Amino acid sequence: MHLCTCEIAVAGDLRNTVIRGGHDPVTFPEVSILKFLHGEAAVTNVEVCGEVDRDPGEEKARLISKYPGQAVETLFPGTKPPMETEVRGYKQPSKTGKKASGRGEATPFNPVTG
């Protein structure tokens, strides 16, 4: 499951933004919850920054503990919820090529611009 950085305009208010950076990333399914709660256009600059090994059922339970259960159930119904866990089109940087920052970190990927 991809971990992402993003910028969130709280309740769609561009003057009140929260940045979820690499120190506190969100999961890709969490991006959907944030868009549902704050508005589709309120979540921007989504970039893959890592991965976590978690199945959809575990992720749903984590999201319910953090966000309104009705919102989570609306987007991810059932005990084995249909859930996109990875950003489409993202290709992990080659381990044989140069490292992005010298620390072995993944190169950020923006699903809008590639």
Domain ranges of the chain: 1-114
Question: pLDDT tens digits for 16-69?
Answer: 999 999 999 999 999 999 999 999 999 999 999 999 999 999 999 999 999 999
Give me the mean pLDDT over the 99-112 stretch: 46
Residue 35: phi and psi, rounded to 5, are -65, -40
Query: Residue 71 CA to chain centroid, in angstroms?
Result: 16
Q: Are strands 43-51 and 17-20 parallel, antiparallel or unpaired?
A: unpaired
> What is the pTM assigned to this prediction?
0.77
Confidence of residue 89 (pLDDT cuts 50, 70, 90): confident
SS3 101: coil
